[in-house]
Amino acid sequence: MNIEKDHNRGYYYIQEENIEKEPIQPHNRLLDDVYNGVGCNKLNVYDWLSPVKDEKETGDNLVEVRFKNTHKGIFNNDTGLILKQGDLVAVEASPGHDIGVVSLVGGLVKKQCCKYKDTNYKKIYRKARPTDIEKWKEARRLEYPTMLKARVLARELNLNMKIGDVEYQGDKTKAIFYYIADERVDFRQLIKRMAEEFKIRIEMRQIGARQEAGAIGGIGPCGKALCCSKWLSNFTSVSTNTARLQELSLNPQKLAGQCGKLKCCLNFEAKVYEDARKKLPDRRVVLETEDGFAYYQKSDILSGVYWYSSEPHSTVNMVPIKVDRVKEIISLNKKGVKADSLIEDISAPLEDFSPIVGQDSLTRFDKPKKSKKNAAKRKRNTKPEGNKNGANSNRNKSNSNEQKANQGRKFNNEKKRHNHSNSSNKSNQKPTNKSVNKPNRKAEDKPKSNSSQSENK
């Protein structure tokens, strides 16, 4: 037998020899509820004795077979068939025969026998033939429309009940109708109507809201699959006392599951809290200190810490105190001695979670984020090439201006020397024609002054 999946349509297929490939309707949950290794099934059993091959541990020819939903049983392999997990077999039923899947073989079946009260095990007839499998698949296809029709008949008879699921027998001669009802229901007339409509033998089984939620499945508020649909098969009663024991807020929206009842997981840690409460002192005792009285407000049971305040009906100035310190203060008060203070041994902080097994941070592979301040500083320090060229041009301009200034200074110094030499010559030589020499001096001096001005500019 081969199990294949069409990823486009989400259907599973059973492929046998001489049988055409045919899609299974998703609402029947055929292979997810029946076959090992496909989907998540709480009826799967891990055979931890499979690596150990001991001929003596044969299990006395006992084989565990499972059917739809939580229907499961142990059968006797009298004919000595060689069976393994996942084989389809035809087993004894009342009346006729049924088709199931082998879930466990070998010595581990003896361990499973303690779960079943009936020791009169039925027989395994044979391995399922192609005709048996074809008839079984036809019966599976009828389950969903049969359930819808049965709901219509129950509504016509005004019965206060809900039909949640239908399971056909492998030979298509009998069907089990699972229903939910808050009160006792007289469904004799309904059975007559269904027998006339479906032409089969009818069996009615009442289930609770938790069994219905387990059959439907879903995701809980914890983010995981529902316990009732994954592994939980025995449903124990849950009361509000378990929530009070764990000091949870009595909010029905938070305490109720998808079935509308209290969550089954409230019972998982109830015994742990019971054992922890036995070690805690009485909360009603008022602590006496030199500063005054201390009244109990709240507690953390698992960590062993009490919170006290100075007022009985107020949570102002609450102080956490270890349980050992509370017991010490109570013993001192019984002796008539008042404690110095409540915060004597609370200098050390409370213990917090620390990774013991070597868990690392989830962000250890993330790249560090670069701050904007550092990026701005880098931009200031690193200037582009265009700015460098502009700075060089400015430097060249400043150098040319300095050269021009130095040339002007040299020219002024030479002019002063020339004027000084002319004045000395004039003093030594006497002028003959003053009228002629004056205009000549003015004509000579004017262009010199203009040229010096222009050069200075």
Q: What is the pLDDT at residue 438?
A: 45
| pLDDT given for residue 215 in this prediction | 81
Confidence band for 393, pLDDT divided at 50, 70 and 90: low
More confident site: 361 or 231 = 231
Confidence of residue 157 (pLDDT cuts 50, 70, 90): very high
Which one has a higher pLDDT value, 349 or 407? Answer: 407
By CB atoms closer than 10 A (0-12, 13-18, 19+), residue 40 is exposed
pLDDT at residue number 235: 84
pLDDT category at 255 given cuts 50, 70, 90 is very high
For residues 297 and 303, what is the distance between their CA atoms, to the nearest angstrom? 16
pLDDT confidence of 455, banded at 50, 70, 90?
very low
What is the average pLDDT value for the chain, to the nearest integer? 76
Closest Cα to residue 127, out of 175, 90, 173, 102?
90
* Tens-place pLDDT, residues 87-109: 999 999 988 899 999 988 887 88
**Distance between CA atoms of residues 140 and 135, nearest Å:** 9
Q: Which residue has the higher pLDDT, 9 or 115?
A: 115
d(CA 125, CA 140): 21
Residue percentage of the chain with pLDDT more than 70: 64
Secondary structure of the chain in the HEC alphabet? CEEEEECCCCEEEEECCCCCCCCCCHHHCHHHHHCCCCCCCCCCCCCCCCCCCCCCCCHHHEEEEECCCCCEEEEECCCCCCCCCCCEEEEECCCCEEEEEEEECCCHHHHHHHHCCCCCCEEEEEECCHHHHHHHHHHHHCHHHHHHHHHHHHHHCCCCCEEEEEEECCCCCEEEEEEECCCCCCCHHHHHHHHHHHCCEEEEEECCHHHHHHHHCCECCCCCECHHHHCCCCCCCCCHHHHHHCCCCCCHHHHECCCCCECHHHHCCHHHHHHHHHCCCCCCCCEEECCEEEEEEEEECCCCEEEEECCCCCCCCCEEEEHHHHHHHHHHHHCCCCECCCCCCCCCCCCCCCCCCCCCCCCCCCCCCCCHHHHHHHHHHCCCHHHHHHHHHHHHHHHHHHHHHHHHHHHHHHHHHHHHHHHHHHHHCCCCCHHHHHHHHHHHHHHHHHHHHHHHC
Nearest to 352 by CA among 303, 391, 387, 313: 303
